[in-house]
Amino acid sequence: MHEPQCGACHKHCFCFESLREHILGRLAKKECAAEFSRRGCNLCMTFLESEDALTTHRLQCQFLNPGPAGKVLKPVMEHSRKRIKATPQGSAQTPLFSEECQSEAVALDCEMVGGGKDGSINICARVCLVDEHENVLLNTYVQPVLPVTDYRYEITGIKPTDFNDAPSLKRIRAVVKRILGDKLLLVGHDLRHDLACLNLDYPPELLRDTATYQLLVKTSGVSHKLRYLTEVFLGYKIQDGTSHDPCEDAVAAMRLYKRMRSRKHAGTLAHSFDLSQLSLRNGDSPQRSSSRVYSYSAPTFDCWCSDSKDVSVDESAHDHLP
């Protein structure tokens, strides 16, 4: 029962996009659409108990844009325990990085400029790391390892002068490794490109990629843009007519990860459930019995709910099974 489920008819869907099509699409089921319009959250797709509960829920479900990390960036690592905000000119240089990261997951985003004759070679130009609490762990420009032939200014907003006195890729890679260690979960959107431009390997089992996570992809299995996922699931816009800000993107990826990780559904502890409880001799009808078997079955993908410290089976969900 780790897949998205319609709160009206209890249909299970491959991903959230297929659930949206079931409820809001051209061929939506009318009964489900009507019920969703009355008490459904358009962000997390949850059905609330009442319209009043929905009003309260929306205040908690809607995110605000954290804003850019600052247009004036020092060419050194900025590792503070503060929320994302602009770095004032003339401020004191902050430490290289902090040894006090209490987060179990860190989000990474890199901006790349182009190299080679046609500018098609991706060169790491800027790196940002944020923790679960949206503290900026690292925010720096990076000295290009090759001559830049395309700054991709419309996307990156990066100018040649931004690299003045910027640290080397080797130095930044060492800092990233030091922050991550070998046990932190690494969150991001299309992480393979970020890790490739850093020339960094990281254990696949510790990667949490919002571009490839089953519940966040299109019904075809193709990845959505981070901009789309942020607007649809978090309720605000990023990259809106401006250049990309890696800290803003990293925060968006972290928020998406935390939203997926915190999903409540039955069957999280399938291995601890005694299937003998489903015996028809105990009064279960064939329909109810099969529904309960499904709800306790193992997921067909690596559900991020297993990352949560609060992993429990929601028995109350079975009371609403048809």
Average pLDDT over residues 26-42: 95
Specify the pLDDT at position 103: 77
Closest C-alpha to 15, from 221, 209, 261: 221
Q: Percent of the chain at pLDDT above 70?
A: 74
pLDDT confidence bin for 295, thresholds 50/70/90? low
Is the pLDDT score of 68 beyond 60?
Answer: yes
Average pLDDT over residues 137-154: 96
Is the pLDDT score of 312 beyond 90?
Answer: no
Specify the pLDDT at position 299: 59
Mean pLDDT value across the chain = 81
**Stated length of the chain:** 322
Which residues make Cβ contacts (< 8 Å) with residue 37, sequence separation at least 6? none
Lowest mean pLDDT among 160-174, 218-232, 283-297: 283-297
Sign of CA dihedral 288, 293, 295, 300: negative
Average pLDDT over residues 246-251: 95
Specify the pLDDT at position 236: 94
Q: To which residue do tokens 């007519």 refer?
A: 241
Using a 10 angstrom Cβ sphere, with 0-12 exposed, 13-18 middle and 19 or more buried, the burial of residue 205 is: exposed
Q: Percent of the chain at pLDDT above 90?
A: 66
In the chain, which residues fall in CATH 3.30.420.10? 105-261
Average pLDDT over residues 71-100: 38
CATH for the stretch 105-261: 3.30.420.10
Is the pLDDT score of 304 beyond 80?
Answer: yes
Lowest mean pLDDT among 52-56, 177-181, 295-299: 295-299
Closest C-alpha to 93, from 167, 178, 157: 167
Is the pLDDT score of 188 beyond 60?
Answer: yes
Each residue of 53-62: pLDDT tens digit? 999 999 999 9
Is the pLDDT score of 82 beyond 80?
Answer: no
Lowest mean pLDDT among 230-244, 252-266, 275-289, 290-304: 275-289
Who has greater pLDDT, 300 or 48? 48
Is the pLDDT score of 50 beyond 60?
Answer: yes
Single-letter residue type at 118:
D
Average pLDDT over residues 200-227: 96
pLDDT confidence bin for 239, thresholds 50/70/90? confident
Average pLDDT over residues 305-310: 81
